A and B are shown apart, each in its own frame.
Chain A
Amino acid sequence: MYDGKYIIPGLLVFLLLMVSPILFNMGNAGPVPKLEKPKGVTKCVESAQYMRTSHMKVLDDWRDEVLRDGNRAPIEVEGVKYDKSLMNACMKCHSEKKKFCDECHTYTSVKPYCWDCHYVPKETF
């Protein structure tokens, strides 16, 4: 190889530059989202862990049950009845979208379009 003494160190420097952000952030997942939990309520319709991983599935199932099967029977948690509804149940407790929903959605870079149609307290209008 001609000029190997320049090319190989040059490639190494280039490689180091390219992976430097990864090396720099190694073992660090960035600022963990801090959710504002609703006050005065301790229990959601499912466990916190389940809601963390599968709230989208819960919402999808609710939507199909309510719209298609006409099954609108509310879900009872500790004597409180919750409608199967994003607007009329979830957002009643988790009323601050910016401090709850957006925290994780921004962190994981997902952009759900729930609020194109569903009402968000304070923000829609």
Chain B
Amino acid sequence: MDIKRRQFLKIAGLSTIAGLGAPAAFNLLLKGESSPVSFASSGSGSEAAHEAAPTGVRLGMVIDQRVFDANRGLARKCINVCHTVHNVPDFGNPKDEIKWLFEVPYEKAFTTMSHYHRDEKLHKSSFLVLCNHCDNPPCVRACPTKATFKRKDGIVAMDYHRCIGCRFCMAACPYGMRSFNWRDPRPFIDRETYNKEFPTRMRGVVEKCNFCVERLAKGLQPACVEACGDTGAMVFGDLNDSHSEISKVLKENFTIQRKPSLGTLPSVFYII
């Protein structure tokens, strides 16, 4: 067989392209779908993504700001309970502060809302913020050690044993709900109220709200929800269960979420 150099190169080139391209094309056609939520998309394009697939349990929370506005001390009570139950240290300086649940003004909580000609009431309100336990959590994607992960019930949890303190998750969280232990927290935990059933953290790990997994396992409500009692200020439950109390509250009220356009699908809702 007589083959010229030119012909040989042509055949070799075409076979390479076919060999590389065929599996990719095959996979694309076989799956026949693209990823439901894309971080690149924002604005109107991502509106459809706000409805996550309703499968399994997805725990969420509704915060009724009307109740917190009417009862000014309630938010502080919730924060105290949360921080006591989880041995959150008080360094007494805002630079090192560790926060699981805390209050911020409207413009800090809802940065993507319009603040032009805002009504008077919102000027005075402060909103309780906590980890949103996103259905599409960017912190989990950022974590290089899988120290933070999403549980089957939707809770974004932390394994402090694995945290290497790189703080990628803090950079990834669009809500700023994560705190870093710059110092050893133990000496700054109140001895009197120390919860002996729950561990502290060590220097160099990131921490955040855990939706009280340890309490849920015992069949209790999260500590903050329990602190609200029957005021209805906080409702906790399964967002995917159409008969749950939280679903009922969400059906009956207009709610907003923090930075919904990012497509992180937060599980915390606010009634303004």
| Interfacial residues of chain A within 103-125, with CB under 8 A of chain B in the complex | 113, 116-119, 124-125
Main secondary structure of the interface of A (DSSP, over half): loop
Q: How far is the CB of A86 from chain B (nearest CB, A)?
A: 9
Query: B217: CB under 8 A from chain A?
Result: yes
Q: How far is the CB of A90 from chain B (nearest CB, A)?
A: 13
**Per-residue 0/1 for B139-179: is the Cβ within 8 Å of any A Cβ (1 yes, 0 no)?**
00000000001011100010111000000000000000000
Partner of B201 from A68, A87, A117, A119 at Cβ < 8 Å: A117
| Interfacial residues of chain B within 180-206, with CB under 8 A of chain A in the complex | 186, 191, 194, 196-197, 199-202
| Interfacial residues of chain A within 77-99, with CB under 8 A of chain B in the complex | 87-88
| B151 CB contacts on chain A under 8 angstroms | 68, 70
Cα(A70)–Cα(B160), bound, Å? 16
Do residues A70 and B217 form an inter-chain contact, with CB atoms below 8 A? Answer: yes
| Interfacial residues of chain A within 44-87, with CB under 8 A of chain B in the complex | 63, 67-68, 70, 72, 87
| B194 CB contacts on chain A under 8 angstroms | 119, 124-125
| A119 CB contacts on chain B under 8 angstroms | 194, 196, 199-200
| A116 CB contacts on chain B under 8 angstroms | 202
Q: How far is the CB of A101 from chain B (nearest CB, A)?
A: 16
Cα(A113)–Cα(B186), bound, Å? 14
Number of interface residues of B (CB under 8 A): 19
Do residues B199 and A117 form an inter-chain contact, with CB atoms below 8 A? Answer: yes
Do residues A67 and B199 form an inter-chain contact, with CB atoms below 8 A? Answer: no
| Known contacts A63-B159, A70-B151, A70-B217: A118-B197 contact under CB 8 Å | no
| A70 CB contacts on chain B under 8 angstroms | 151-153, 213, 217
Question: In this complex, what residue of B is CB-closest to A72?
Answer: B217
Cα(A8)–Cα(B225), bound, Å? 82
| A72 CB contacts on chain B under 8 angstroms | 217
Q: How far is the CB of A123 from chain B (nearest CB, A)?
A: 11
Cα(A118)–Cα(B195), bound, Å? 11
| B186 CB contacts on chain A under 8 angstroms | 124
Do residues B157 and A67 form an inter-chain contact, with CB atoms below 8 A? Answer: yes
Cα(A124)–Cα(B184), bound, Å? 13
Do residues B153 and A117 form an inter-chain contact, with CB atoms below 8 A? Answer: no
Q: How far is the CB of A58 from chain B (nearest CB, A)?
A: 15
Do residues A118 and B199 form an inter-chain contact, with CB atoms below 8 A? Answer: yes
Question: In this complex, what residue of A is CB-closest to B194?
Answer: A125
| B200 CB contacts on chain A under 8 angstroms | 117, 119
Do residues B202 and A113 form an inter-chain contact, with CB atoms below 8 A? Answer: yes
Question: In this complex, what residue of A is CB-closest to B184?
Answer: A116
Question: In this complex, what residue of A is CB-closest to B201?
Answer: A117
| B160 CB contacts on chain A under 8 angstroms | 117
Q: How far is the CB of B264 from chain A (nearest CB, A)?
A: 21
Do residues A125 and B201 form an inter-chain contact, with CB atoms below 8 A? Answer: no
Partner of A63 from B161, B191, B197 at Cβ < 8 Å: B161
Partner of B197 from A67, A68, A88, A113 at Cβ < 8 Å: A88
Question: In this complex, what residue of A is CB-closest to B205?
Answer: A117
| B197 CB contacts on chain A under 8 angstroms | 87-88
Do residues A125 and B191 form an inter-chain contact, with CB atoms below 8 A? Answer: yes
| A63 CB contacts on chain B under 8 angstroms | 159, 161
Known pairs A70-B151, A119-B199 / 12 extra A-B pairs, C-beta < 8 Å: A68-B149, A68-B159, A70-B152, A70-B213, A87-B196, A87-B197, A87-B199, A116-B202, A117-B199, A117-B202, A125-B191, A125-B194
A and B contact pairs by CB, cutoff 8 A, 8 listed: A68-B151, A70-B151, A70-B153, A70-B213, A117-B160, A119-B199, A119-B200, A125-B194
